[in-house]
Structures are given as C-alpha cells and as structure tokens.
Structure 1
Amino acid sequence: MSAAVETARAAAPPAIEARGLCAGYGGREVLSDVSLTLGAGEILCLIGHNGAGKSTLLRVLFGLHRPAAGTIRVFGETLPRHVPAALGAAGVALVPEGRGVFPDLTVEEIFGLALWSAGVRASEREERVEEVLGVLPRIREFRNRRAGTLSGGQQQMVSIARALLTRPRALLLDEPSIGLAPKLFQDLIRPIAALRESRGMAILLVEQNVREAFAVSDRVLVMKSGTFIFEGAPAELSDHARLMELF
C-alpha cells in the first residue's frame, strides 16, 4: 500500500465501529457483547465455524436485524436510523450469502434496477456500469443473459457487481466463495481487494476459504459461539495446527 493511502487511512475515521452488540432470534442469543472496528481502507477477514454468528453480525451491521444492545457508528457518525437504505446512502454495501439475483431478469436489467434504486441519474448509469465491468470484465460475456441461466460463479460476479455500482466506501461480503472453484474465487476476490488501493474502499470479508482470504487481508478475526476468540495478522494463523485449535 502506498504512503499516501496509508496516510489517508490513518486520518480517516473507521468505516464501521460497533460496540457491545448483542443479538439473537426468538430469545436465543447469537451475538454476545461483540465489538468490531473496520478501519478506513482496511480488509478485515472474519472466519469461524458454521453457526458462530458471522452472518448475523453482517445482518446487524447492515441494518437487516436489530440488535438487543450495542451501538454502531459508520464513518464516524451514528445514523438516525440504522437501516439498509441509510447504510447504502452513507456508502456501505452488502453482498449477501446466496447471491440473491433475480433469475428472470437479464444482468443488464439487474444493473438498471440497482442503479435506479440507488438514485443514480440516468446520465451517469452507463459510466457506472463500464466502471464495474472494468473490475469484473468477464461479465461482458453474459450481460444480456437472464441471471437464472448463469453458473454459480457468474451469478456471484453479478451480485458483487450490483453492490459495486453504488461506489461503496465499505463493502460487506458474506461467504463469496460458496459453490466456487478455488481458482474462480481467486480471480474474483483479487480485483475486489484491489479497490482498496484505487478507491480506499474498506472490506469486511466473511469467508471459509482462508488461504485466499488471508492473502488479501490485513487483519483476521475468529468468531466462536457469538464472540471473538482471536484477533491478529493473517501470518499468525499460517500454521494450520494453530488455526484448527481455534475451531
């Protein structure tokens, strides 16, 4: 990372700062006093066993699930209403697990809907699309096809591209490698990670493909049973035995 980017990161408030989050479903606690800081321009990887609370944490951070306790600040501010529309307007985007593309719409139509819902002026929409296609150029090959006819990897590209159309300052990615071959995931995640350099975008990456995730991350958090049990640099978990101890 360049010195200029490092200086800008140091001066900027955290992209997301959560303190004391508690959340659950139907009286069952899933998150227990969780605190997290996603620094400006940082790539933070969150790993943990199935059911550890990772997806619930992302849902809370993006305003899809209301916590029972805790506070969340976005780019140094507390939003009047912590809901997806307000998060999107503030510059936060979520790529959910499972892709969530509309199968009967073409990729072009999905992009148009995303740009319209984000309030992007018609005169700017083609520029936004070309910008995203520069990051994920393979989408050009199938941009006129219906999403339901695409492979899992192609659908994942569309899901990520849809989020990038809003030019987010912070991107939350929930298990983007599910159903993808390791090489395809590598081809997908590296250009996304490069946006940290070109735009200063912060990324919170929930991922089980630790090898590729660690290769692009600055810091790792390990979650178990709704709490964090490790925080450190990816190199600290390069020993597979040490990683397995945490699971």
Structure 2
Amino acid sequence: MTNPIFKTEGLIVGYGGRPVLDGVNIELRSNEVLCLIGHNGAGKSTLLKTLFGLIPHQGGQMFLDGKPLPVSEPRALTASGISLMPEGRGIFPGLTVAETLKMGLWAAGVPQNERSDRLEWVMSVLPLLRTFYDRPAGTLSGGQQQMVSIGRALLSKPRCLLMDEPSIGLAPKLFQDLLRPIRELHEQTGMSILLVEQNVKEALKISDRVIVMKSGAIIREALPEELSDNAKLMELY
C-alpha cells in the first residue's frame, strides 16, 4: 500500500452548531483515483470544500505528506499542490475563456515568466480549449464550461486534484470525454484525484478505490468491482 499524500483524521465540520461531517477519516494515496460516493446531503461537497480550506473544521486534523497542515486556506493549499474543481463550474459568464484562464494563473500564484508555458501545458491536456478560447464562457455548452473549469483547476499543476460532481448537467458520453484526458494525465504524471460523483457507474470505470459517505461519515471502502452490482450500491444508499 502506498503512503497517503493527503489525509484526514477525525475531521469534524458543522454549521450553526449542527455537525455535517462527524469524525471523517480519509486517505488520498499517491497515484490513485479515489471516488467518493453517497446520497444527496451526505456531506461530500462539504468535505471537498473543507479539504481546500473554503470551510473551517472544528475538530480533527488534515495531513499533507504525513505532516499536519498548520494553515488550511486555499492559497496555501494551492501552493502545496492541491487544487479544486468546484461543483457548478464556477465560471464568470461575461469573461472569455482566455480571461478566465489568465485570472486563474494569477489566482494560482504562477510566476509571470511561467504563465505562457503553463497555459500551453493545460492546452496540451485539454486541446479542445483552443477551439473556443476567445469566446465568452456564458456562450459555451455545459461540457465546454466544465472543460474550462477543469483547465483552470489544472493551472497550478496540482499533485492532488479534487473534483466535485464534474458530470452535473452532462450526458454520459460528454462526461466520459471530459474524464478521459484527466485519467490519461493521472497515468502520465501520477497525479492523485479525489472524485465526488453521483454518476457512479461512469465514475467507477476510472477509479482505483471507492469510499462511501452516509450522513457525514465514511461507512465503506471498496474496490470498484465490488460495487458493480446495482443492488449492492442501493444497499449503501
């Protein structure tokens, strides 16, 4: 078993005194695609936002490369090699794709003299971005907007990519087309991916390991083939 790059121990997160995550322990290992599944409201998106420092945790600890994270805030985590592709794409409709990615380079803290090469690298991973590079994001299809969101998350060249529901609003074929280059990038670079998905059948096809969340707690860890039976999945929900 490989050592975890990113892990939590006893993570507790709540809103208004109500716990949403209750003692969550997860490990994102080196060179793996880890799929997190669970019912709506289970706490999956809250977990990803907490891992990226967007939501503070009230208890527990997060570790990167085996060392406790003293500060959990997005800019510090980005510099450490963690990136988040948020749920709902999070794009600005009035900005062109070019403007969106240039703003993303600044937000990711990429040095000025490296930005051109970094942008070219992202384009090599997602070459279709070139075909609508100068268009306002608001005029793009759902699949194109999702590609922009993924491209922006890749600008920091992360070691760990957190992906929150990339299939929302997409047909299964479009979802496959989006995940294929990400899986290839994972295989080429060893980038670890934590994928939160409701389209379980498609997500399992590219995952190495699966964890199941229910009511703010991890209730099961399995290999994808162990959950290929719909009846088994229904039992977990």
Q: Say if 2:212 and 2:220, in contact at 8 Å, map to a contact too.
A: yes
Specify the alignment match of 1:225 in structure 2. 215
C-alpha separation in 1, matches of 2:12 and 2:71: 18
Specify the alignment match of 2:117 in structure 1. 127
C-alpha separation in 2, matches of 1:112 and 1:76: 33
Q: CA deviation at 1:116?
A: 1.8
Q: Say if 1:24 and 1:67, in contact at 8 Å, map to a contact too.
A: yes
Specify the alignment match of 1:46 in structure 2. 36
Alignment of 1:17-56 (within 5 A): 17-56=7-46
C-alpha separation in 2, matches of 1:131 and 1:162: 12
Q: Say if 1:19 and 1:36, in contact at 8 Å, map to a contact too.
A: yes
Q: CA deviation at 1:210?
A: 1.1
Specify the alignment match of 2:145 in structure 1. 155
CA RMSD, 1 decimal: 1.2
C-alpha separation in 2, matches of 1:17 and 1:122: 32
Specify the alignment match of 1:189 in structure 2. 179
C-alpha separation in 2, matches of 1:52 and 1:196: 27
Q: CA deviation at 1:127?
A: 1.6
Q: CA deviation at 1:117?
A: 2.3
Q: Say if 2:61 and 2:69, in contact at 8 Å, map to a contact too.
A: no
Q: CA deviation at 1:79?
A: 2.6
Letter in 1 for 2:70: P
Specify the alignment match of 2:89 in structure 1. 99
* TM-superposition CA deviations, 1:56-113 (whole Å, max 9, x none): 1111111111111100011222233111111000000000101111111110111111
> Helix, strand or coil: the match of 1:15?
strand
Residue 204 (1) aligns with residue 171 (2) = no
Specify the alignment match of 1:15 in structure 2. 5
Specify the alignment match of 2:62 in structure 1. 72
Specify the alignment match of 1:244 in structure 2. 234
Letter in 2 for 1:188: L
Letter in 2 for 1:89: A
Residue 174 (1) aligns with residue 164 (2) = yes
Identity %: 61
How many residues end up aligned between the 2 structures? 237
Q: Say if 2:37 and 2:197, in contact at 8 Å, map to a contact too.
A: yes
Letter in 2 for 1:137: P
Specify the alignment match of 1:57 in structure 2. 47
C-alpha separation in 2, matches of 1:17 and 1:121: 28
- Give ranges in structure 1 of 5+ residues lacking alignment: 1-8
Greater CA drift, 54-63 or 191-200? 191-200
C-alpha separation in 2, matches of 1:191 and 1:27: 41
C-alpha separation in 2, matches of 1:185 and 1:214: 13
- List structure 1 runs of 4+ shifted beyond 6 angstroms: none
Q: Say if 1:79 and 1:86, in contact at 8 Å, map to a contact too.
A: no
